Amino acid sequence: MNDSRNLLQYSMQAGVWLGLYLIVRFVCSVASIYSPVFNLIAMILLVGTPFVLYHLMKKYHKNNDDVSTFSLMWMMGIMLFAFASLICAVPEYLFYEYINPDYITNTMQQSVSLIKEMDLIKDDTLMQELEKISTTGAVPTSIQMIMSSLWSNVFFGSLLSFVVAIFVVRSKK
């Protein structure tokens, strides 16, 4: 069976599935503050991301091996993460803006208090700056968090796609 979809079409359609996967991973990581079970699930989903990516890339490669080179597989992985990140950005925005608007501030304050309790930072000026940021509310906005998430997903997805593309192309030989 030859899949007639081109690389861009397949990347958009498979990006929906990867986006749903990233949404579940995001929900589990956010819910991990309520139960350690969600933290375990989020960690399993994080570790499982390369396998999901491999499956999506392998499916396209199997149906289009005559035009599937390493560079095309790598490009597809980058596009998969770009489209998936756009899909994942919507629920992230809804969560940060409407469901739990204090999540970013609370997480920042918890991080500062944990650093203070563990006595990790010996430099008093750095600790004072962290406390100042935490108390004055100079934390990232929801849009800044989403843009950071989007860019980090695409960047690290690009690195992951590089490695996975090697295995996808080599598996056919």
Q: What is the pTM of this model?
A: 0.87
Segments of the chain with pLDDT less than 70 = 1-4, 65-67, 120-123, 137, 172-173
Task: Report the length, in residues, of the chain.
Answer: 173
> What gap in Å lies between CA 127 and CA 116, rounded to an integer?
8
Position 122 scores a pLDDT of: 67
Q: How many other CB atoms are there within 10 angstroms of residue 147's CB atom?
A: 13
Which residues, in sequence order, are CB contacts of 116 under 8 Å at separation 6+? 127, 131
How many helices (H) and strands (E) are present in the chain, helices listed first? 6, 0
Characterise 137 by phi-psi region: left (phi > 0), alpha (psi -120 to 50), beta (else). Answer: left
